[in-house]
Amino acid sequence: DTGVSQDPRHKITKRGQNVTFRCDPISEHNRLYWYRQTLGQGPEFLTYFQNEAQLEKSRLLSDRFSAERPKGSFSTLEIQRTEQGDSAMYLCASSLSAVSYEQYFGPGTRLTVT
Amino acid sequence: AQKITQTQPGMFVQEKEAVTLDCTYDTSDPSYGLFWYKQPSSGEMIFLIYQGSYDQQNATEGRYSLNFQKARKSANLVISASQLGDSAMYFCAMRVEISHGGSQGNLIFGKGTKLSVKP
């Protein structure tokens, strides 16, 4: 399977714990995006990378959130001191370049904070 | 500010009939792209169709077509010959292609329409 993969698919954690999600984009794609989707809503943009550079961050990305793409391949999204409001589906997408119009999405990581 | 509006929370359609899902958008940028994605209950977003703001013809992809009316700022999705497997959430999204000297790649999504296909 050469699509976008995300790990884990599901995560249940207690409030106050730290969690980390991983996204592996399609191998030749240099753009990688993170979105968050809460119940009944469309995905909301969090941040994106061009290769290893983080080019834009949404104001939704509080200082408890950090994302990295150290070698321009896979990316991690860490949430520190989780809150119940962080419960959501976290989606990763990748695209070939800034010009390419299609973003390919992964299956998402569903986070539940108890 | 860029915004996508989908006014139909839920829609029903009989199998084999056509259905139109509404989408209106708001942007002041001249260059943008409009997208439709399908999200089954499994959660994965599946790309369906794309329309560029400068495209003269409406986009079509198999049973999907996009009814692009630029003056009305609408980008409705038409699904012909509905199938049971079309039951899912459908999201309209927009991307500003070039903005203020930079290139923005992120998508702005609407709240979605839940389509249910009846046998």
What is the SS3 assignment for B64-82? EEEEEECCCCEEEEEECCC
Cα separations in angstroms, A60 against A8, A32, A48, B44, B95: 22, 17, 13, 22, 18
Does any CB of chain B come closer than 8 Å to the CB of residue A42? Answer: yes
pLDDT at B40: 94
Does any CB of chain B come closer than 8 Å to the CB of residue A31? Answer: yes
Task: Say whether pLDDT at A16 is over 90.
Answer: yes
pLDDT at B102: 46
Rounded to 10 degrees, what is the CA torsion of A1, B65, A96, A41?
A: -80
Which residues of chain B approach chain A closer than 8 Å at the C-beta? Answer: 4, 33, 35, 37, 42-47, 50, 52, 91, 93, 95, 103-112
pLDDT at A44: 94
pLDDT digits (tens, 9 = 90+) for A28-37: 898 999 999 9
Nearest chain B Cα distance for residue A83, angstroms: 22
Q: In 10 A of CB B100, how many CB atoms? A: 7
- Gap between the Cα atoms of A109 and A111, Å rounded: 6
A51: left (phi over 0), alpha (psi -120 to 50) or beta: left
Give the mean pLDDT of A99-110: 85
Peptide bond into A8 cis (omega under 30): yes
Confidence of residue B100 (pLDDT cuts 50, 70, 90): very low
Token pair 């509006």 is found at: B5
Of B33, B37, B112, the CB nearest to A101: B33
pLDDT at B106: 83
Of B45, B50, B110, the CB nearest to A105: B45
Ranges assigned E (strand) in chain A? 5-7, 10-13, 19-24, 31-37, 44-50, 53-57, 65-68, 75-79, 88-95, 104-105, 109-113
Which positions in chain B touch A57 (Cβ < 8 Å)? none
Token pair 């793409």 is found at: A69
Q: Who wins on pLDDT, B104 or A36?
A: A36
Give the mean pLDDT of B40-66: 93
Task: Say whether pLDDT at B99 is over 60.
Answer: no
Locate the chain B residue with the closest alpha carbon to A5. Answer: B44
Residue B28: HSE in the Cβ half-sphere, 13 Å Cα cutoff = 2
Which of A10-14, B20-24, B50-54 is predicted least confidently?
Answer: B50-54
pLDDT at B43: 87
Output the six-digit token pair for B55: 């495209």
Q: Who wins on pLDDT, A60 or B51?
A: B51
Output the six-digit token pair for A61: 């990305």
- Gap between the Cα atoms of B84 and B13, Å rounded: 10
Listed by number, the residues of chain A in 70-109 with a beta carbon closer than 8 Å to a beta carbon of chain B are: 89, 91, 93, 95, 98, 101-108
Asked whether the beta carbons of residue A45 and residue B108 sit closer than 8 angstroms, the reply is yes
Confidence of residue B96 (pLDDT cuts 50, 70, 90): confident
Largest Cα separation within chain B, whole Å, is 50
At residue A93, φ and ψ (nearest 5 deg) are -140, 155
Nearest chain B Cα distance for residue A82, angstroms: 22
pLDDT digits (tens, 9 = 90+) for A47-104: 999 899 998 888 888 899 999 999 889 999 999 999 999 999 999 999 887 566 688 9
Listed by number, the residues of chain A in 4-23 with a beta carbon closer than 8 Å to a beta carbon of chain B are: none
Give the mean pLDDT of B101-119: 84
